[in-house]
Each structure stands twice: as C-alpha cells, then as structure tokens.
Amino acid sequence: MISRLTVSERHLALFVLGALALAGLAMAVGGRGDPLAVHGVIVLAASLGLGFLVLSALFSPEPGESRLAEYYDDPTKAGIVLSLAWAVVGMFFGVWVAALLAWPELTFVDSAWASFGRIRPVHTSGVIFGFGGNALIATSFHVLQRTCRARLPDQFSPWFVLIGYNLFCVIAASGYLMGMTQSKEYAEPEWYADIWLVIVWVVYFLIYIRTLARRKEPHIYVANWYYMAFILVVAVLHIVNNLALPVSFGHAKSYSLFSGVQDAMTQWWYGHNAVAFFLTAGFLGMMYYYLPKRAERPIFSYRLSIISFWGITFMYMWAGAHHLHYTALPQWVQTLGMTFSVVLLVPSWASAGNALATLNGAWHKVRDDATLRFMMVAAVFYGLSTFEGSFMAIRAVNSLSHYTDWTVGHVHAGALGWVAMITFGSLYALVPWMWKQERMYSPKLIEVHFWLALAGTVVYVFAMWNSGIIQGLMWRTYNDSGTLAYSFIDSLVAMHPYYIARAFGGLLFLTGAVVCSYNVWMTIRMARVARVPAKGDVPLYGAAQAGE
C-alpha cells in the first residue's frame, strides 16, 4: 500500500513518524517510573515500526497517474478491518464484564488489570471508539468521495487520521488496564492522549473541508452534513471536557479544570452530546448513504432531512442536564435539559420515519436481503431508543430509572439496536464494493448474523428493562415502619437472573460479530482471486486536477 503513496507523501510520512517517535521517546524518558513511560514506548514502537514499513518502500517508483482515475479507498478498507477487529475485542470485553456482574469470581487472573473497574472502560471505549469510530472514519471517506464525485485531496492525511486514531484507541485501552483514567465516563484517556486526538481530529476535519471544496456536485449531500456535524461537534466537546492540568509533563495523571457541579455538568454535556454527535449524527450519515443505496430508493423527503438535521443539532446541545436530575445541579438547568429532551423526540422520529419511508417500494427487498434488513431494524431501534430517551429524561420517570439497569438497557437499545446494526448493514453493503466483488462471501452467514444480533439485542434489552425497573422499585419501597423494605443486597439477589440473561444476550451479539468478521475476511480472500470492477464508480475530480 505504501508504494501507492507518492514519493513526497512518503517523505512526509517519514517526517511525521520521526516527530512522533521523538515524542514517544520524550514520554518514555520523561515519564520514568510512571505509566506514561509505557505509553511512550508504545508510541515509539508504533512509529518506528511504521517508519520501517515506509522506508522499505521509499524507493519504489512513483505511482502512475492512473491512480487519480480511481477513488482512494485503501484507508477505508483498512478502517473496515480495524473496525471489525475492535468490535470483536470490545464486545468480548463486554461479555466478560457482563459475566463478572453475574459471577464476580470470573476474573480468571487475580490481578488488578482484570478487575471490573478497569475492563469496563475497555469495553465501552473498545466498542464506541474502536468499532464505531473506525466504522465512521472508514465509511465517511467512502461516502465523502462518492457524494462529492471527487477523490480525497491527498493520500497521506487519511492514513494519518486512521492510524493516529487507532493509536489513540490503543493508548486509551492499555491505559485503563494499567489503571489510568480521568474518571470521566467516555472521556477516560489522560491529557496526552487527548491532545493527540485533537491533532488527528483537526486533520480529519480538514480532509472533509478540502474534499467538499473540490466536489463535482452542486449540492452537499445530507450524509455529509451529518458526518461534518459529527466531526466538528466532537472536536468541541472533546476539547472542552478534557481541559485539565497535568501533575507534570512527566506524569500521566492530570486534574480537570472544572470541579463540583460544574464538572458534572460539563461531563454530561459532553457525555450526552457524544451520544448525539458520535453515536447518532455520525451513524445517521452512514444511514443516509447506505440505506437508500442498498434499497435503490430515493430519500423519502428532502425537507424532512433538513428539519430533522437542524432539530437534532440544536436540541441535543441542551439535553445533557437530564443525566443529573435530582442532584446538586440547580433545578432550572434540569428543567431545560428535560424540556429540550422532550422536544428532541420530534426531529429524532422524523429521521427514523424518513429512513423507514424511504423503504417504501422496497419492502420486498427488506424481506429478502438481510443487509437491508439490518438497516431497517437499525432505524426502528433508533426510533425506539430515542423515544425511550426522551421519556427517561422526564424528571418523574428519571427518579425511577436513574442509577438502575434501565439506563444500561436504554444505552444498549441504542448501541446494539441502532449503532451496531446500521454499521453491520453498511459494512455488508460496502465490503463487496470495496473489494470489487458482486456480493459478500456468504449471504447465508449475513442472515445468521442478523438473527443472532436481533436475538442478542432483544434478550439484552428486555433483561435490563426488567432488572432496572425491579431495582428502581425495590430501592424506593418503604415498609410500615417507614424503613426501606429492601436492602441493597436484596436488590442484587433479584438482579442475578437478569444479569445471566444479559450476559447471554451479549454473547449472542458477540457471536454475530465474529460471524461477520469471518464473512468479511472470506470476502477479502475471494477478492484475491477475482475482481469485478463496478461500473461508473470513478471520480470526476482526481487529485491531480486539484493541483495538489
């Protein structure tokens, strides 16, 4: 793949990797005796390894101009593979933590890294950032080029984004296992990892802007609005929530600039908008491309796309406070969080409805084609979980649901039912295009995966609904003496069967992900034998014409 970079791109890569290696060295030396040094070594090793790869192809001949007549899809291909690798790892950790809750002795090894508190963030970051993030990056490059009819502006920066992002993910996950965390949910990585992600993210945004500027279409397609909102807002959220002062430049530990209730509010403003702009906007972008493409139907309503886009973008910004109902957060902030969450339901359902109505005239395909069915079910779960979310944001409901497994069930209705399903559907559509095949290696295995995923999600969500509501009720039931009728342990005993069910549901879902990876792998192997180029899948605007 390296020989496909131009010679000057190879030089640039070497320069950047050299700088990164120096940074890694500085971390390793400056952080002696601190876990920071371990990360320094990881960075150093990664940049030396990649540098070696580049060097080995440094003197290969300059790639021909013919490359400019094709879209640049190598990073997308790599992103797909990385995404699935993270899916399997992240979901494995998920099943493990779920099992730990049912059988706490299942740590296997009696050491700190295997404790619940450390492996749980490996699960959440693994699936959200590893699986979801890589899928977003991979699909966004693909969608961006196709809907702009322009090739990516250069070949180096997409690799920088993809590899840099995965380096961030590795640093995050390995840090958790060593006990490093900022103790902010979904923003656990420490300051140096955060700074690195900002750099990567800016380059990502620039790729978007530069490609859009070169587009050969008069209008910017909806999917790109969503991908752009995702990139832009995540940058803002990430920077603000992670403002922190490191103990010293030789230490991994840092202290947040915020404290007390301001900290809580900043964190949940971040946390909820991560749900909104990472897990919703980004994947809506995916949906707006792959669903109509696969169904071969026009989008139901352009106007609906517009109002739901702006509705979602505007309303979500206010909603974070609903994570802090009945806390020290002033009540007026809670009111705003709650009311905007309620109104938010309308644009959310408008998006889900727009997707489902797009399938009008293609329902027979939904029946026959598991790939499209993945996307359809995703839109349904998107509708379900946004309804549930708005409902749970109502203070009175929240007083029952908060701190219970209901929240966990809600998150997974969104994460498994919506995010993962739309991703799998999109990948099944994308993989044959990328590797120039007529179809996936095995349509039957897609069918198997679909039912595994659906069954897993349903089992998971129902288990957590039951468990959460029972928990909530047990925690608020008083007896005649005016004492809480149940102790905390009583509620744990009541949870146990549901925790087993949840671990089982998760296992089904994980199995599905493994089946998917196998199917993708076999498709890639098929591609080694024969290529079936797609007609018309070429840019109108190659890189050379941009004069870059």
Contact region for another protein (CB under 8 A) — 276-284, 332-340, 422-430, 436-444?
332-340
Q: Is 304 in the site for another protein (CB under 8 A)?
A: yes
* Rounded least distance, CB 485 to another protein, Å: 7
Q: Helix/strand/coil (H, E, C) string of 163-227?
A: HHHHHHHHHHHHHHHCCCCCCCCCCCCCHHHHHHHHHHHHHHHHHHHHHHHCCCCCCCCHHHHHH
- DSSP lists the bridge partners of residue 244 as 256
Q: Helix/strand/coil (H, E, C) string of 225-294?
A: HHHHHHHHHHHHHHHHHCCEEECCCCCCCEEECCCHHHHHHHHHHHHHHHHHHHHHHHHHHHHHHHHHHH
* Rounded least distance, CB 304 to another protein, Å: 5
SS3 (DSSP) at 486: coil
Q: Is 522 in the site for another protein (CB under 8 A)?
A: no
Q: Is 490 in the site for another protein (CB under 8 A)?
A: yes
Single-letter residue type at 290: Y
* Rounded least distance, CB 453 to another protein, Å: 26
d(CA 477, CA 490) in angstroms, rounded, equals: 12
| Phi and psi torsions of 150, nearest 5° | -135, 145
Q: Is 3 in the site for another protein (CB under 8 A)?
A: no
Residue from 208, 360, 379 nearest 290 by CA: 379
* Rounded least distance, CB 338 to another protein, Å: 8
Q: Is 317 in the site for another protein (CB under 8 A)?
A: no
d(CA 511, CA 445) in angstroms, rounded, equals: 12
The residues in 196-255 that bind another protein, with binding defined as CB under 8 A, are: 217-219, 221-222
Q: Helix/strand/coil (H, E, C) string of 432-456?
A: HHHCCCCCCCCHHHHHHHHHHHHHH
d(CA 541, CA 301) in angstroms, rounded, equals: 29
d(CA 14, CA 10) in angstroms, rounded, equals: 6
Q: Is 533 in the site for another protein (CB under 8 A)?
A: no
Q: Which of 92, 205, 300, 518 binds another protein (CB under 8 A)?
A: 300
Q: Is 535 in the site for another protein (CB under 8 A)?
A: no
SS3 (DSSP) at 398: helix
Question: Which one, 422 or 452, has the nearer CB to another protein?
Answer: 422
* Rounded least distance, CB 270 to another protein, Å: 20
Question: Which one, 11 or 149, has the nearer CB to another protein?
Answer: 149
Q: Which of 85, 469, 484, 500 binds another protein (CB under 8 A)?
A: 484
Q: Is 363 in the site for another protein (CB under 8 A)?
A: no
Q: Which of 166, 305, 457, 523 binds another protein (CB under 8 A)?
A: 305
Q: Is 72 in the site for another protein (CB under 8 A)?
A: no
Exposure string over 101-120, b if 16+ CB within 10 A, otherwise e:
bbeeeebeeeeeeeeeebbb
Contact 135, 79 (CB under 8 A): yes
Q: Which of 248, 335, 368, 444 binds another protein (CB under 8 A)?
A: 335
Q: Is 104 in the site for another protein (CB under 8 A)?
A: no
User: Residue 371 corresponds to which tokens in the numbers above?
Assistant: 């790939």
Question: Which one, 2 or 538, has the nearer CB to another protein?
Answer: 538
Q: Which of 66, 183, 259, 479 binds another protein (CB under 8 A)?
A: 479
The dihedral through the CA atoms of 225, 229, 230, 232 has a sign that is positive
Residue from 505, 497, 507 nearest 101 by CA: 497
Q: Is 337 in the site for another protein (CB under 8 A)?
A: no
Q: Is 381 in the site for another protein (CB under 8 A)?
A: no
* Rounded least distance, CB 388 to another protein, Å: 16
d(CA 188, CA 165) in angstroms, rounded, equals: 15
* Rounded least distance, CB 329 to another protein, Å: 10
Question: Which one, 358 or 467, has the nearer CB to another protein?
Answer: 358
Q: Which of 46, 100, 228, 338 binds another protein (CB under 8 A)?
A: 338
Contact region for another protein (CB under 8 A) — 153-161, 378-386, 480-488, 505-513?
480-488
Contact region for another protein (CB under 8 A) — 20-28, 83-91, 323-331, 465-473?
323-331
Q: Which of 77, 118, 146, 410 binds another protein (CB under 8 A)?
A: 146
The residues in 15-34 that bind another protein, with binding defined as CB under 8 A, are: none
d(CA 513, CA 288) in angstroms, rounded, equals: 23
Number of shown-chain residues binding another protein (CB under 8 A): 54
Q: Is 183 in the site for another protein (CB under 8 A)?
A: no
Q: Which of 92, 349, 475, 521 binds another protein (CB under 8 A)?
A: 349
Contact region for another protein (CB under 8 A) — 74-82, 205-213, 304-312, 365-373?
304-312
Question: Which one, 88 or 343, has the nearer CB to another protein?
Answer: 343
Question: Which one, 261 or 342, has the nearer CB to another protein?
Answer: 342
Contact region for another protein (CB under 8 A) — 87-95, 202-210, 254-262, 353-361?
353-361
> How many C-alpha atoms does 347 have within 13 Å on its Cβ side?
21
Long-range contacts of 264-268 (CB under 8 A, 24+ apart): 264/324, 264/327, 264/328, 264/329, 265/320, 265/321, 265/324, 265/329, 265/333, 266/240, 266/241, 267/184, 267/185, 267/187, 267/241, 268/320, 268/321, 268/323, 268/324
Q: Which of 289, 435, 460, 465 binds another protein (CB under 8 A)?
A: 289
Footprint of another protein (CB under 8 A) = 146-147, 149, 217-219, 221-222, 289, 292-293, 296-305, 307, 326, 330-332, 334-336, 338-340, 342-343, 345-346, 349-350, 353, 357, 360-361, 479-490
